[in-house]
Structure 1
Amino acid sequence: MVQIFLLYCFIALDRLLCIAYPQRYSSMNKQVYFCIIVAFVLAFPFYNGFLSYQRTLINPDKYVHYTQSFK
C-alpha cells in the first residue's frame, strides 16, 4: 500500500517537472524513470526488514505465538 502511494507521488512529481520544464525535462525522462525503479528496488527490502523488526522485536507477544513448557 505504501509503495503504491510512493509510486503515484513519483509519477506526479515527474508530470509536474514535465509541465514546468518541458524542453529541458524531455531529455531527462529515461534517467528519472531509472532512478524511480532503483529507489523502489532498494526500498522494498528495507521496508520488509522494518516490518520484521517491528513484529518480532518490538511487539513479540502480539505477533509471535509460541508455547513454552516448564518441566
Structure 2
Amino acid sequence: MARVTTELNNTQIKNAKAQTKDYKLMDGKGLFLLVKKNGSKLWRFRYKKPITGKESDLGIGSYPKLP
C-alpha cells in the first residue's frame, strides 16, 4: 500500500531547520525537499530507472529559487 503524504506548504519549508544530519521532507509522488546540515534546502525527485529498476535521485533546484 502506498504511503499517503500531504503536500508541503511554504510555512513548513521555511520552518525546516538544519539538524546534525541531512533529512528529507516528503512532498508526494517522489518529490522531496532535502534539508542539509548546513541549512541549505534542495528539491529532489526520486524515480526508478526503467531498465535497471534501481531508484535514483534527480536534483531539480534549490529553495527558494524554485517554490
Q: For this structure pair, what is the TM-score category when the shorter chain's length is used for normalisation? A: under 0.3
Higher relative contact order (CA 8 A, sep 6+): 2
In terms of Rg, which structure is larger?
A: 1
Q: Normalising by structure 1, report the TM-score.
A: 0.23
